[in-house]
Chains A and B, each alone.
Chain A
Amino acid sequence: MGEPAIKLGGNHKSRFLDKVKEILPEGGNLDLCLTCGACSSGCPATGIGDMDARKFLRMAALGMDEEITKTEWVWHCTMCQRCSYVCPMQINIPQLVFNARGLWPRELRPKGILGSCDMALKNDTCSAMGTNEEDFRFVVEDVLEEYREAQPEFADMQAPVDKQGAHYFLNQNSREPVTEPDEMVPLWKILHIVGADWTYGSKGWAAENYCMFMADNDAWKHIVEVKAKAVDDLGCKVWLNTE
């Protein structure tokens, strides 16, 4: 096919692949590839930057750690898991990709993801857009007020923040309160009509978690803990995430 030959990076054992194997159940089956190509043939990221799932796995298996660390393709695979579903050996390629993301120096990971994660770490709302507790409460109350007045059938509709003991704790993507608050309303209406007992939390309401996408495990854990605590503190039974 005229492609340049791939040079192998010495004969040391792949430290990256072995490390990932250690943390996955069954080692993610990472050693079992038959090179059948089912993974890459059904993957939308195939060919982007001349990379694909099978090739990526082969590179890891061959110990090409330096190339693995550098390929931007790890940010083009969405970790959707389709490849694992179709793989005859159920090889966990998305986990390999996730851990390869973690090899990047933190400050060099994609700015948009990094910025969103860092913003979410700033306060307990976990909002990737940096919306704080007061601003969120203000938007919700303001929009609710407006709709209650304009649409009489919904005069007693609720959109509670921090309602102790509510059954459902509802998350909300930051983009709605910040850029298109009217889009929150249809969901409120549905919850109102079915008589759901729900609440937002002033803490932990933001649905997104870019720290997870960034493969920053400590930050990811922090975000999940803050959100879980918010649910527990309000004594809610079900945590609803719209993402």
Chain B
Amino acid sequence: MAEDLRYVVKKVVGEENFIDMSPNRSNNYCCGGGGGFLQAGYPEERRQYGKMKADQILATGAPYCITPCHNCHAQVHDLSDIRGHAWETLHLWTLICLSLGILGENEREYLGEDLKNVAVYGA
């Protein structure tokens, strides 16, 4: 499953633009949004937990981070925001539609300024 997603992401952004974080696969770390943490009312602890993920993301130097589910998206987005919006956080569906040229202007909430106006469908 995870390898299938790697295949999709590489096809969508181009092999040369894909950067795996380290460690990855089964050695990777949870972002800290899971297990109900996001709703548990411990923002400080949740962000302390997420520091490991934030450092991993920053180490890639990538301007975009793709998250697989809504929980991760919310957590990783927050981890970026508290660091002065250090990276953009995307759902995979946004990226797939962007690469297919069918992403409309109202579906770009999470794209950065560099991609906001690229290949806008219907424009």
Contact = CB atoms under 8 A, between A and B. Distances in A.
B32 to A, nearest CB: 6
A47, A110, A154, A189: most-surrounded residue (chain B CB, <10 A): A189
Contact of B36 (A42, A113, A187, A193): A113
B39 A210 contact: yes
A189 B97 contact: yes
Interface stretch (B14-22, B43-51, B57-65, B80-88): B43-51
Interface residues of A, number: 45
A116 interface: yes
B26 A242 contact: no
**Chain A at the B interface: mostly helix, strand, loop or mixed?**
helix
A173 B93 CA distance: 14
B76 interface: no
A182 B104 CA distance: 10
A242 B69 CA distance: 6
A112 interface: yes
Nearest to A74: B35
Contacts, number: 113
Contacts of A176: 70
Given A182-B107, A242-B70, A76 B37 contact: yes
B49 A186 contact: no
Contacts of B32: 44, 78
A75 B36 contact: yes
A175 B49 CA distance: 23
Given A44-B51, A183-B91, A85 B26 contact: yes
A112 B69 contact: no
B103 A186 contact: yes
B113 to A, nearest CB: 19
Contacts of B96: 186, 190
Nearest to B49: A44
A150 B122 contact: yes
Contact of A48 (B36, B45, B104, B109): B45
B109 A182 contact: yes
B115 to A, nearest CB: 14
Contacts of A111: 41
A185 B45 CA distance: 34
Contacts of A86: 27
Contacts of A180: 109
B36 A213 contact: yes
B24 interface: no
Given A44-B51, A186-B93, 19 more contacts: A79-B35, A82-B27, A82-B29, A86-B27, A110-B41, A112-B39, A112-B41, A150-B104, A153-B121, A175-B70, A185-B107, A186-B96, A189-B97, A189-B102, A190-B93, A208-B70, A210-B36, A243-B70, A243-B71
Interface of B: 26-30, 32-37, 39-42, 45-46, 48-53, 69-71, 74, 91, 93-94, 96-97, 100, 102-104, 106-107, 109, 121-122
